[in-house]
Chain A
Amino acid sequence: MPETGVIVCENLSYIYPNGVQALCDINISINRGDYIAFVGQNGSGKTTLVKHFNGLLKPTRGSIRVFGEETRDKKVSALSRKVGYVFQNPDDMLFCSSVEEEIAYGPKLLGFEEVEIKENVEKILHELGLAAQREAHPFTLSLGDRQRLAVACVLSLSPEIFVFDEPTTGQDYFGGKSIMSLIDQLHAKGKTIVIITHDMPLVAEHARRVVVMNQGQIALDGTPGDVFSQIEQLRRLSLRSPQVTLLAQNLGSKDQTILNVGQMYAWLETEYLVSPRAAIGDFI
């Protein structure tokens, strides 16, 4: 059987009730195990598009199929078992009075077995390092922990696809790091990951596929290497490749797109036959 996409959009258009056309003829197929980042200016339609993935929005025209089924007449609650959506602000998702209750809430509503829920909650609490705070009120957790808790709530419904809306916004460096490593772990377990972000180095480091949106349409779609090498095109869309990529381009890396410092070192060593560690080691 040929591998078809888990999410397939065909000529998808969306017009907001106030008449603003947010999406225009989107065609995209997301495959099982993808790690895909949507980037673009504010208002380019990224959030509108991913809100179609779990049925929060229904297309005005065209179609979107999730695991082969049209979302049009599906309830969000039914789709939430397949597509988990983690909102930008974790506080919007939390309303119970303890961490444990919070995680068990969704599965209870969807009628999971009591024993199964208990085991699952226990597992998630340990996996995400929230076990010590199981009794705590979600509002007393730090922002990073609240974000983990929001992920935990989605995780408890064991969906196949995870959508993260700007997971690192508002986080400090380590908070962002830890949430990204959590996402990487999910991906390593075979989950399909969709993230929305403005952070290009993050995209370069983690994503396997980048979709650039502009004015409700897909402007670029490819691997981070492909996309970030098109510096001029990106500049027209008011986006910027990671600095390390730009630096490497300036140094003359035409045939290869450098996405992180490690690659940069390797490239410098092969291209200029210098070891950057030896050359600038004193300064680091």
Chain B
Amino acid sequence: MSTSTPKPQPEIRAAPRTWKSRGRLLGMPISVLAIWAALYIAASAVPALPVPGMAGMITINAIMTAISGMVLGPGAAIANAAGGIIAMILYPYGFSAGPLGFLTVTMGGLVAGLLFANKWVLAGILEILIIGSWFVNPQSWQTGMWLVPLPYSLIALLVIFIKPLRDWVRTSILTLHKVWLWPAVFLMCCVGHAGEFMMTNTMVNWMFNLSWQYWVPTLPYWIMVDTVIIVVSTFVGVGVLIGLRKARLPQYADWLEK
């Protein structure tokens, strides 16, 4: 073996830990997804706000859904679905859409997660599909029904499709900007929550043909509820994002930076 020209030695590295990639799903470690699912079930047991006309409740899993995309990325859909299916069985009062209720929480996590992963085209298609499936139903052309998806779905569409806004939201969250983190997390929560509640509304509407005589009078209440959930989610989201970063715990932002 000739050693005439000493080549620069390659940096010594540990063998790549292949189990890491096997233990991951859409960028997040499976253990983290499982833990999120467990938190999700636990949150589904805590009622927060009443649903008009039902003994059921909006539980604080709505907060988990709203922030899931920012924390877990698209993997949030998987974690929310896994948690949602079990939560539906254990604590059914939190799911007003019957046996398919877990789809709603999946959708919330998926749209926000895709957006956070900058797969905005996919997120946009999903968001349009959700809002579209509301308007495909002839019911939705009755008086005032177009108002129902308006408040937060509109914000979601804007965040997804306006590039500067989208980039600003993502950068502010990724860099944990001292000031802009708050409004950015708020907008992200709007996207996550809008995905969930529009999916629920659409499904309930298709299944039971609730017409405008139900939706329009309860609309102010729903807007209040959605606002409260999104505001609380913003507080939780900011706390969790900062805490995860400071404690160097796994979150989707790490994966994005790689």
Q: Show the binding face of A for B, using Cβ within 8 Å.
A: 95, 97, 137, 139-140
Q: Show the binding face of B for A, using Cβ within 8 Å.
A: 239, 242-243, 246-247
| A137/B239 in contact, CB under 8 A | no
| A140/B247 in contact, CB under 8 A | yes
Q: Which residues of B contact A137 (CB under 8 A)?
A: 242-243, 246-247
B239, B242, B243, most chain A CB atoms within 10 A: B243
Give, as a whole number of angstroms, the nearest-CB distance from A99 to chain B.
12
Q: Which residues of B contact A139 (CB under 8 A)?
A: 243, 246-247
Name the residue on B nearest A97 (C-beta): B242
Give, as a whole number of angstroms, the nearest-CB distance from B236 to chain A.
10
Name the residue on B nearest A136 (C-beta): B246
Q: Which residues of A contact B243 (CB under 8 A)?
A: 97, 137, 139
Q: How far is the CA of A140 from the CA of B247 in the complex (A)?
A: 6
Q: Which residues of B contact A140 (CB under 8 A)?
A: 246-247
| A97/B239 in contact, CB under 8 A | yes
Give 9 closest A-B pairs by Cβ, nearest first. A139-B247, A137-B246, A139-B246, A140-B246, A139-B243, A97-B242, A137-B242, A97-B239, A140-B247
Since A97-B239, A137-B243 are in contact, a sample of 11 more A-B pairs with Cβ atoms closer than 8 Å, ordered by chain A residue number, is A95-B239, A97-B242, A97-B243, A137-B242, A137-B246, A137-B247, A139-B243, A139-B246, A139-B247, A140-B246, A140-B247
A95, A97, A137, A139, most chain B CB atoms within 10 A: A139
Q: How far is the CA of A139 from the CA of B241 in the complex (A)?
A: 12
Name the residue on B nearest A94 (C-beta): B243
Give, as a whole number of angstroms, the nearest-CB distance from A246 to chain B.
43
Q: Which residues of B contact A97 (CB under 8 A)?
A: 239, 242-243
Inter-chain contact count A-B, CB under 8 Å? Answer: 13
Name the residue on B nearest A139 (C-beta): B247
Can you give 13 A-B contacts (C-beta < 8 A)?
A: A95-B239, A97-B239, A97-B242, A97-B243, A137-B242, A137-B243, A137-B246, A137-B247, A139-B243, A139-B246, A139-B247, A140-B246, A140-B247
Q: How far is the CA of A97 from the CA of B236 in the complex (A)?
A: 12
Q: How far is the CA of A95 from the CA of B239 in the complex (A)?
A: 8
Q: How far is the CA of A137 from the CA of B238 in the complex (A)?
A: 13
Q: Which residues of B contact A95 (CB under 8 A)?
A: 239
Name the residue on A nearest B244 (C-beta): A139
Q: How far is the CA of A137 from the CA of B178 in the complex (A)?
A: 14
Q: How far is the CA of A137 from the CA of B246 in the complex (A)?
A: 7
Give, as a whole number of angstroms, the nearest-CB distance from B124 to chain A.
33
Q: How far is the CA of A248 from the CA of B251 in the complex (A)?
A: 56
Q: Which residues of A contact B247 (CB under 8 A)?
A: 137, 139-140
Q: How far is the CA of A137 from the CA of B243 in the complex (A)?
A: 8
Name the residue on A nearest B247 (C-beta): A139
Give, as a whole number of angstroms, the nearest-CB distance from A84 to chain B.
24
Name the residue on B nearest A91 (C-beta): B247
Q: Which residues of A contact B246 (CB under 8 A)?
A: 137, 139-140
Q: How far is the CA of A97 from the CA of B237 in the complex (A)?
A: 13
Name the residue on B nearest A95 (C-beta): B239
Q: How far is the CA of A95 from the CA of B238 in the complex (A)?
A: 12
Q: How far is the CA of A140 from the CA of B249 in the complex (A)?
A: 11
Name the residue on A nearest B243 (C-beta): A139
Q: Which residues of A contact B239 (CB under 8 A)?
A: 95, 97
Q: How far is the CA of A184 from the CA of B126 in the complex (A)?
A: 62
Give, as a whole number of angstroms, the nearest-CB distance from A91 to chain B.
9
Q: How far is the CA of A137 from the CA of B244 in the complex (A)?
A: 11
Q: How far is the CA of A139 from the CA of B242 in the complex (A)?
A: 10
